[in-house]
Chains A and B, each alone.
Chain A
């Protein structure tokens, strides 16, 4: 029942994320004609959805919630005083942590899949069309990249005590990482820029003019990123083994 414990701890944040993402998608679609009329240059509906959901508000909501879902764990339970009960469960620390990691990541996936459901359906209702394949392609990109944000915060949460320390460090460090990726000698390696991979910007699998995913996704990169995230989770698990609570 460790999965149930982890679910009880993360369900509210997951639900807030799903609801927020759904509302954001609905409001973006509802205001599409007005926003497109006021845009600097004419844009298609597909380009507008890309800009608003996958390159702006929707993406930001997803990143922040992936980070918030990754915070919380045994160190944070210590401050609340429940860590003794958790550690007395007949399960290894590794199992407790891994279940927490898996259930939290499922929450990340649930938030990522929300636009796949809401955008194509809502577009149809408005008399517009957004290809399901496009939405699903971005879901795959977000799933992989979201794993990294989640895993990174998960690791920080198991290194630093304090309920918000991991969030206060994760967000600025990712911001700084985004700035550093603008350095010329790093910009030469576009596959290192996870933010561009997430929304396809400057990527060979993305058409800048149509604002659509074209061509095959970078499957090797999309496998490596979650593996890196898993290494963060395993490192967190190894750190908790000898810890004296």
Chain B
């Protein structure tokens, strides 16, 4: 029942994130007539509906909300229990700390997966209502990218959630680390693109065609595997730190 405990602690954040992402999807599709001219005027790369949806949802503001949600979903855990005075009850459960941490991580990652599933279905359905073409297959190919990219974002905040008792400090530190990471991987001397937001947006080589924002014939698995391994390492480090902590 550890998963149920983790779910109870994170459900408000998850449901709010799901509501926000859904709201953004519907806003950008149903209000497309009003928003498209302004966005096309501001951004030269937007010439059609697919590019507009990519700019606003899969590679834009809505993706940003998913990243924010991943950071917030990762908070909590034993440090939070310590702050609220319930740590003794949690540690008295007949389970190892590894199981406690991994169950919380698995629950959070399942929530990230569910959040990643929302845009393809809502965008396709809402586009159909406004008579705009948006095949479901286009959005489905973003699911692995959003899930794995979200996993890395989740992992970064997860580490800070096991280090800091104050959740606001953990969130601030996680956010700053995330900012520095995103800025740092843009360094011109870096040989490889390690920008997780670019990965989630399909901007890596071999993913979307930059001029049309349509999927090509290839779907590179190397970055998916690489970011997945990075996410696993982040969670593993957090687990190790928790097993060594003296509460």
Contacts and interface: CB of A to CB of B under 8 A. Distances in A.
Contacts of B41: 182
A179 B172 contact: no
Given A34-B188, A164-B72, A165-B16, 19 more contacts: A12-B172, A13-B168, A13-B172, A16-B176, A17-B176, A24-B179, A24-B180, A27-B180, A61-B179, A65-B172, A80-B83, A81-B84, A164-B75, A168-B72, A169-B16, A171-B65, A172-B65, A182-B42, A187-B38
A79 to B, nearest CB: 8
Interface residues of A, number: 40
Given A61-B179, A164-B72, A34 B172 contact: no
Contacts of A20: 172, 176, 179-180
Interface string B79-121: 0000111000000000000000000000000000000000000
Contacts of A24: 179-180, 183
Contacts of A163: 167-168
A88 interface: no
B34 A38 contact: no
Contacts of A17: 172, 176
A122 interface: no
Given A168-B16, A168-B17, A172-B65, A23 B171 contact: no
Interface string B130-150: 000000000000000000000
A162 interface: yes
B224 interface: no
Given A64-B175, A68-B168, A169-B16, A176 B24 contact: yes
Most buried by B among A17, A20, A162: A20
Contacts of A171: 65, 68
Contacts of A72: 168
Nearest to B56: A179
B contact residues, range: 35 or more
B75 A16 contact: no
A162 B189 CA distance: 43
Interface of B: 12-13, 16-17, 20, 24, 27, 34-35, 37-39, 41-42, 56, 61, 64-65, 68-69, 72, 75, 83-85, 166-169, 171-173, 175-176, 179-180, 183, 187-189
Instruction: Kindly name the residue among A31, A163, A187 whose own CB sees the greatest number of chain B CB atoms within 10 A.
Output: A163
Interface in A11-40: 12-13, 16-17, 20, 23-24, 27, 31, 34-35, 37-38
Main secondary structure of the interface of B (DSSP, over half): helix
Contacts of A23: 180
A79 B75 CA distance: 15
A172 B65 CA distance: 7
24 contacts: A12-B168, A13-B169, A16-B172, A16-B173, A20-B172, A24-B180, A65-B175, A80-B83, A81-B85, A164-B75, A164-B171, A165-B16, A167-B72, A168-B16, A171-B65, A172-B24, A175-B64, A175-B65, A176-B61, A179-B35, A179-B39, A182-B35, A182-B41, A184-B37
Q: Is the interface of A mostly helix, strand, loop or mixed?
A: helix
Interface string A147-176: 000000000000000111101110110011
A1 interface: no
A168 B20 contact: yes
A171 B168 CA distance: 15
A164 B83 contact: no
- Greatest chain B CB density within 10 A among A16, A17, A165 is at A16
A57 interface: yes
Contacts of B171: 68, 164, 167
A179 B188 CA distance: 30
A78 to B, nearest CB: 11
Given A60-B179, A168-B68, A31 B187 contact: yes
A172 B115 CA distance: 15
B162 to A, nearest CB: 16
